């Protein structure tokens, strides 16, 4: 169940749509295009977002500290866009629904990780 929650979270993150002049652009495309847009502050946030995604693929992906760091890194490019662009530009469901699903499911994943670590710690203390 924990892996399904993480997978749902990451897929919803990748499916966030940023509205453009003519068409919407999936957030993952924006991350990769911005990654190679040199001399732009958005490049830094794109790097942070991609590092956050990569952290979910490492062997430490279930460590509580790594999941929290990954969450913050993945939110940083979205937060930068929200600060740079007027909020009225994000008033559409193709942005709001995947973002909400991402935040809720990733926070649920973090809480499940914390609860699981606490249960293991309590079990080890009772046995020891």
Task: Give mean pLDDT, residues 103-125.
Answer: 90
Buried (b) or exposed (e) across 69-103, using 16+ Cβ within 10 A? ebbebbbbbbebbeeeeeeeebeeeebeebbebbb
pLDDT at 66 over 70: yes
Q: Which of 70-74, 90-94, 118-122 has the highest mean pLDDT?
A: 70-74
35-49 pLDDT tens trace: 998 888 999 999 999
Do 52 and 71 contact (CB within 8 A), yes or no?
Answer: yes
Domain range enclosing 123: 2-127
30-39, 94-103, 118-127 — which one is most confidently predicted on average?
Answer: 94-103
Question: What's the structural domain count of the chain?
Answer: 1
Residues 6 or more apart from 35 whose CB is under 8 A from it? 43, 46, 47, 50
**What's the pLDDT score for residue 70?**
96
pLDDT of residue 71: 96
Within 2-92, where are the H helices?
A: 2-14, 27-35, 41-55, 64-84
């Amino acid at each position: 169940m924990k892996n399904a929650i993480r997978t749902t979270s990451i897929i919803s993150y990748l499916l966030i749509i940023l509205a453009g002049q003519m068409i919407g652009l999936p957030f993952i495309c924006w991350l990769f295009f911005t990654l190679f847009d040199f001399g732009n502050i958005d490049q830094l946030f794109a790097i942070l977002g991609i590092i956050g995604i990569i952290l979910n693929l490492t062997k430490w992906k279930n460590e509580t500290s790594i999941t929290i760091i990954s969450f913050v890194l993945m939110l940083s490019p979205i937060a930068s866009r929200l600060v740079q662009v007027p909020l009225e530009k994000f008033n559409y469901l193709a942005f709001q629904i995947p973002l909400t699903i991402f935040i809720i499911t990733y926070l649920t994943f973090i809480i499940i990780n914390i609860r699981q670590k606490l249960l293991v710690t309590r079990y080890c203390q009772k046995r020891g």
